[in-house]
Structure 1
Amino acid sequence: GDLRRTFPAFPPRAADREGFAETWWGDAWVTALEEGALDAARLARGRGYAERGHVDAITVTPGLVLAYVQGGRPRPYRVQVRLRTFTDADWERFLDAAADRPGHIAALLDKEMPQSLADCGAALLPGPGDLVPRCSCPDSGDPCKHAAALCYQTARLLDADPFVLLLLRGRGERQVIDALSRLSATRAARAAQEREPEPLPGIRAADVLARRDRGLSPLPAPSPPPPHPGQPPVYPASPGGPDPFALDQLATDAAARAHALLTT
């Protein structure tokens, strides 16, 4: 489901790169690993394992990254890295900050993490010591080279999809986007309700009707609003076209906003 995602193993990569991650949030993950490590030599060997493709498929669930890492023995080691999940109060602060700007939702759907969300009152990115590794190997290093390899490869996952970080903090992509859409629509409705209507040019229809024959039939009552927003159609996937999931989320958000304005 949305709370369990498994990613195939990364292929080997060139070892002549200065930085391992490609995004600022991936760099922050690597910084948390390297600044919290007790042995630079183990880190270097773990990075070498990651670059040579020794980390198998990676499974991410709330608070946990899990994979098998091939070491010096025939049988791979089972490695996990834990990260504290958000409390409800943490999620409330994050969602409030994310819904505060309309561009945040669009950025997340485009697989970008706005830097302003990292400082929203909830520590979205880990700091030194926040990553808790565990490995089935006999090495007692913190982290051992196998756990370091998994952490480095996880940074590549975060580069490609920042929702992996949100899943580690406890919520899946659809749950986060749905919550942001509802919160954004509620704020838009509240703002529209509090805003004074602007005067319109011309003559009000009620004034025109008041001057005419009193025998006119009364205007029909407005149609009742629908009880809930409509559901968007199913968008087909086409090569080179927009992401159907992103279109569905944008259409759902627009429908929620329109229904809120209609009912207020």
Structure 2
Amino acid sequence: MATPHRDNEHRRTFPALPPAGPDRASFAETWWGQAWLTALEKGALDTARLARGRGYAEQGRVDAITVTPGSVLAYVQGSRPRPYRAEVRLPTLDDEDWDRFLRSAAERPAHIAALLDKELPRFLADCGVPLLPGPGDLDAHCSCPDRGRPCKHAAALCYQTARVLDTDPFALLLLRGRGERELLDALSRLNATRAARADERGPDSLPGVRASQVLAHRRPLPPLPAPLPPP
């Protein structure tokens, strides 16, 4: 079973969620949670297994969920006394993708503030980084004998994972390879570097023209008039 005391920067365990109930309209309330479910439902080959998995999630059969880079893991209680070990894998992002994500997040202070408030700005998902999964990206595995992809146990895990992502988008970022503290520290360093470069440049100087250039193009003054005759 899950062991929260072993959690660290790259391993987070979320307590088992209570039953969702059959009256719940959707397992996801945020746009990124809904994107996760869209990837699940559009990539599944058997809608009947999805329906049974949703039923398991509604009944609260999914134990604590452990998120690590590239993996979501939980034990799911099926029809037998012993629960099954279900896992959903998702490829992690490479360093180039993370650099692009960090630069995009640092462009606007509001993006960092949103992340701290457990919100995921849409802009960060549209900055050229494949942050959210697409159909077929969720690679489901389970210890049950059913070879369906996903089986109902892995599907139940996916539905409950959407609820976890709703409450904390840093779980999605960890799943993609980076922990919360790691990302916030990187954003802090990036902002400090940008501020230092701005200080080195100093205030932008106003455009000017040399006095010699002005005088060179100055029109000559007309001659003075002749003096008046004496009275």
Alignment TM class, shorter chain as reference:
0.7 to 0.9
Q: CA deviation at 1:7?
A: 1.1
Aligned to 1:157: 164
Corresponding residue to 2:75 among 62, 68, 73: 68
Q: 1:128 and 2:135 equivalent? A: yes
State the Cα deviation string for residues 172-208 of structure 1 (Å, max 9, x = none).
1000000011111211222333342679xxxxxxxxx
Correspondence 1:188 to 2:199: no
> Which digits, 9 at most, give the CA deviation of each residue in 1:47-72, with x for residues without a partner?
11011100001111110111100011
Aligned to 1:53: 60
Given the alignment, which residue of 17, 22, 32 partners 2:29?
Answer: 22
The Cα offsets for residues 198-250 of structure 1, whole Å up to 9 and x where unpaired, read as: 79xxxxxxxxxxxxxxxxxxxxxxxxxxxxxxxxxxxxxxxxxxxxxxxxxxx
Moved over 4 A (4+): none
For normalisation by structure 1, the TM-score amounts to 0.73
Please state how far the C-alpha of 1:86 moved relative to its aligned partner: 0.8
Where relative contact order (Cα < 8 A, 6+ residues apart) is larger, the structure is: 2
Partner of 2:221 in structure 1?
none
Equivalent residue number for residue 20 of structure 2: 13
Q: Secondary structure at the match of 1:6?
A: strand
Residue 180 of structure 2 corresponds to residue 173 of structure 1: yes
Q: Secondary structure at the match of 2:127?
A: coil
- For residue 28 of structure 1, what is the amino acid of its counterpart? A
Q: Which of the pair has more CA radius of gyration? A: 2
**Identity percentage over the alignment?**
73
**2:152 counterpart of 1:145:** yes
User: For this pair of structures, how many residues does the alignment match?
Assistant: 199
Question: In structure 2, how many angstroms separate the alpha carbons of the residues matched to 1:154 and 1:185?
Answer: 35
TM-score, length-normalised on structure 2?
Answer: 0.83
Secondary structure, in 3 states, of the residue corresponding to 1:193?
helix
**3-state SS in 2 of match to 1:191:** helix
RMSD of Structure 2 on Structure 1 (CA): 1.3
Instruction: Output the CA distance in 2 between the equivalents of 1:28 and 1:53.
Output: 22
CA distance in 2, matches of 1:14, 1:145: 17
1:113 equivalent to 2:115? Answer: no
Distance 2:199 2:13 in 1: 42
